[in-house]
Structure 1
Amino acid sequence: MRLALATALVAALGLATPALAQNTPPRQPTISVMGTGDAELKPDFANLFVSVETEAPTVAQASTANSAAAERVLARIQSLGIKRDDIQTANFQVFKVEPPVEKMNVSRDSKDALKFRATHQLRIKTRDLDNVGKLAGEILASGDMTFQSVSFGLDRQEEGGDKAREAAVRDARRQAEVYAGAAGVALGRLIEIRDGSAQPFEQPMMRMQMAAKAADFVPLVPPATIRYTANVQLVWELAERP
């Protein structure tokens, strides 16, 4: 009896399998392509970074001296035609300065035994890119500061990213059409878009340490453009050629 039931069950499964296979739709072939694109836009402004440094035996004295020096620097920068809103603090810190090696054995009671250094970094924004080198030289000539670096940026960040995305989509379609044509098929319905990234190409920050009155003109050449890059993954169904 058990053998008869087992035989019947196997027979029933054998009959059902073709029916289940017939109800399973065939998988639609697809192609997935990663596209890359870039866009280049002219920079709108430059950020110049300068630092004001002071040293004193105590944290309070170093901070107070730095505040006074920073006020002189701000007044000088504004006298060059830079608006107060375009001058911002980028960083401020106070740290202990270890004595030179030759003074390591000096008593802690000595004034040379311990000092504190206050550093106030300012970011100066200018839209006059043609004269950014001249401005850097004038800032240096004012004294009380060290010129550190300069970087360039865009106001219309979204525009650069969007143009790069459009270029990435065009690149993905071009690749997909090449693959499909070589395989003897055609692109069908676009079924998936996976956003990658869109960001400005990191312009190398021009770094330099220049003491005050080191130059009346700093040879800074703004980049002609700032490049944005984007990635996107697109998936199409494949179809027979018409």
Structure 2
Amino acid sequence: MRILPLVVLLAGLALPAAAEPVPARITVAGEGRSFAVPDMASLNLGVASRGLTAADALGANSTALASVLARLAADGIAPRDIQTSGLSVGPRYDYSDNGDGRVVGYDARNMVTVRVRDLPALGALIDAAFAAGANEFNGLSFGLADDRAAIDAARRAAVADARARADLYAKAAGVSLGRIVTISETTGFEAPQPMALRADSIAAPAPVPVAAGELSLGAQITMVFEIVQ
């Protein structure tokens, strides 16, 4: 039997190819922003009531809120644009004797979130709700019924910003950009902060003045490029 030298046998084995070096990469963040005039608003309003018993407080509250909802419906607010956002009933205590407190009555609160699609009527609608019995107002914010076009504009601006930064860094380092490896996104929405108003500030002889302003929509992305030496 003929035995080949070990070195010859090893030469015939398929050796793994040397691993190719991973291209150098550059990671940049980009931010884009677009602006749009809002076409809808969201209100959070409701009724707070008191009674000697929980049933009294809840009954008075339900009657008052039913009047508010009827007025909103009469002013053109669709059922799909009204949603209960908070309902509570609880005891009210008197601590004047420095003790543990005694129950002197009950408080009931029922809040609803209302979408208003007719912004020119917003101030008059707030007045009407309070005239009908609402006595709490927890916030007002503006938005877009369809924000896709505005967000897409912010995304395009974010990509352009990231590419411009990558070009700047590459030129400063004396290299060139290669292909895009990854793109990841985090999209944010910035709107005017809700404002809280007291009931007595709403009951005005003229419609409440409301300024919708402008919405800012932002997109943030991260892009990874290969570097060509």
Establish whether TM, by shorter chain, passes 0.5.
yes
Residue 146 in 1 paired to residue 144 in 2? no
Conserved? CA contact 2:45–2:112, under 8 Å: yes
Task: Say if 1:26 and 1:117 are closer, same or farther in 2 by CA, change over 3 A.
Answer: same
What residue is the counterpart of 1:4 in the other structure? none
Whole-Å separation in 2 of the counterparts to 1:25 and 1:105: 79
Give, in angstroms, the shift of residue 201 of structure 1.
1.0
2:221 to 203, 207, 232: 232
Q: So what's the TM-score if we normalise by structure 2?
A: 0.81
What residue is the counterpart of 1:131 in the other structure? 121
Whole-Å separation in 2 of the counterparts to 1:78 and 1:96: 32
Give, in angstroms, the shift of residue 103 of structure 1.
6.0
Give, in angstroms, the shift of residue 120 of structure 1.
0.6
Give, in angstroms, the shift of residue 44 of structure 1.
2.0
What residue is the counterpart of 1:6 in the other structure? none
What residue is the counterpart of 2:71 in the other structure? 76
Conserved? CA contact 2:131–2:203, under 8 Å: yes
Whole-Å separation in 2 of the counterparts to 1:148 and 1:40: 26
Conserved? CA contact 1:38–1:230, under 8 Å: yes
Give, in angstroms, the shift of residue 104 of structure 1.
5.8
Task: Say if 1:104 and 1:187 are closer, same or farther in 2 by CA, change over 3 A.
Answer: same
Give, in angstroms, the shift of residue 85 of structure 1.
3.2
Give, in angstroms, the shift of residue 50 of structure 1.
1.4
Secondary structure of the 1:169 match is helix
What residue is the counterpart of 2:197 in the other structure? 208
What residue is the counterpart of 2:89 in the other structure? 94
Which aligned runs of 4 or more in structure 1 are off by greater than 4 angstroms?
Answer: 103-108
Secondary structure of the 2:196 match is strand
What residue is the counterpart of 1:116 in the other structure? 106
Letter paired with 1:53: A
Secondary structure of the 1:77 match is helix
* Structure 1: runs of 5 or more not aligned: 1-19
Task: Say if 1:60 and 1:236 are closer, same or farther in 2 by CA, change over 3 A.
Answer: same
Letter paired with 2:45: V
Task: Say if 1:84 and 1:25 are closer, same or farther in 2 by CA, change over 3 A.
Answer: closer
Task: Say if 1:34 and 1:213 are closer, same or farther in 2 by CA, change over 3 A.
Answer: closer
1:172 to 159, 162, 168: 162
* Structure 2: runs of 5 or more not aligned: 1-14
Secondary structure of the 1:235 match is strand
Whole-Å separation in 2 of the counterparts to 1:166 and 1:24: 37
Q: So what's the TM-score if we normalise by structure 1?
A: 0.77
Give, in angstroms, the shift of residue 203 of structure 1.
2.5
Give, in angstroms, the shift of residue 166 of structure 1.
2.1
Letter paired with 2:186: S
Task: Say if 1:103 and 1:69 are closer, same or farther in 2 by CA, change over 3 A.
Answer: farther
Give, in angstroms, the shift of residue 73 of structure 1.
1.5
Greater fraction of residues in helix: 1
Whole-Å separation in 2 of the counterparts to 1:52 and 1:102: 27
Conserved? CA contact 1:136–1:147, under 8 Å: no
Whole-Å separation in 1 of the counterparts to 2:129 and 2:171: 61
Give the fraction of aligned pairs with identical amino acids, expressed as a percent.
33
Letter paired with 1:23: A
Whole-Å separation in 2 of the counterparts to 1:38 and 1:124: 28
